[in-house]
């Protein structure tokens, strides 16, 4: 699967260069990321993943390239990093994380009912508490494995 992804990414970059005259001016990188299910928004929540990450100096055309790259990744089931993915759309986040967005918002509403911690960026992904009514029970704190206590 990784060789297919690298090939698709290479084709995407070549096509983008032909159409827009832009290409990354540094080497691209890839990583193997171990499974991490400690965060609802971990991009390796469901298992080990491989990444393909473009790198550039931020020259003219970089921001437009990133927007197209987000779409390329979303079309292939990629998962973004909420705190690092510029130009992420609510639709792309919903496709990547699905019901995890709703679960997080329930927890967020419970601990932040007045939206004091909801900044402008995340407001585009999570409705304010004042607009959502939930009948879900309050989330339970995690229990410590050693002591069995919260």
Residues 8 and 54 in one domain: yes
Q: What's the confidence (pLDDT) of residue 49?
A: 92
Q: Are 106 and 83 in a shared domain? A: no
pLDDT of residue 133: 53
Per-residue pLDDT tens over the stretch 13-40:
999 999 999 999 999 999 899 999 999 9
Whether residues 46 and 75 fall in one domain: yes
Does the residue 24 lie in any domain? yes
pLDDT in tens, 107-145: 999 999 999 988 888 888 888 776 655 554 545 444 444
pLDDT of res. 46: 92
pLDDT digits (tens, 9 = 90+) for 52-104: 999 999 999 999 999 999 999 999 999 988 878 888 999 999 999 999 999 99
**C-beta of residue 50 within 8 angstroms of C-beta of residue 30:** yes
Domain that holds residue 39: 2-88
Q: Which of 97, 104, 72 minimizes the C-alpha distance to 87?
A: 72
Asked if residue 83 and residue 11 are part of one domain, the reply reads yes
The count of domains in the chain is 2
Q: What is the pLDDT of residues 57-71, one digit of tens each?
A: 999 999 999 999 999
* pLDDT value of position 83: 75
41 within 8 A of 104, measured Cβ to Cβ? yes
Is residue 31 one of the residues assigned to a domain? yes
Q: What are the tokens at 55?
A: 């790198």
8 and 59 co-located in one domain:
yes
* Residue 145 is assigned to a structural domain of this protein: no
What is the average per-residue pLDDT within 40-54? Answer: 92
Q: Mention every residue, 6+ apart, whose C-beta is less than 8 A from residue 65.
A: 16, 20, 22, 24, 54, 56
Q: Which of 42, 45, 65 is nearest to 55 (CA)?
A: 65
User: Would the pTM of this model clear 0.85, i.e. be above it?
Assistant: no
**Residue 84 pLDDT:** 80
Size of the chain in residues = 150
């Amino acid at each position: 699967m990784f060789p297919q992804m690298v090939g698709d990414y290479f084709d995407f970059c070549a096509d983008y260069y032909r159409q827009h005259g832009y290409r990354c001016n540094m080497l691209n990188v890839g990583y193997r990321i171990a499974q991490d299910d400690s965060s609802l928004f971990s991009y390796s929540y469901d298992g080990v993943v491989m990444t393909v990450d473009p790198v550039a100096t931020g020259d003219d055309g970089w921001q437009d390239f990133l927007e197209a790259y987000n779409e390329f990744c979303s079309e292939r089931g990629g998962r973004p990093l909420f705190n690092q993915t510029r130009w992420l759309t609510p639709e792309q986040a919903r496709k990547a994380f699905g019901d995890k967005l709703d679960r997080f918002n329930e927890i967020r509403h419970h601990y932040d009912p007045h939206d004091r911690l909801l900044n402008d960026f995340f407001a585009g992904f999570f409705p304010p508490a004042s607009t959502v009514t939930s009948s879900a029970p309050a989330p339970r704190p995690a229990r410590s494995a050693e002591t069995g206590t919260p």
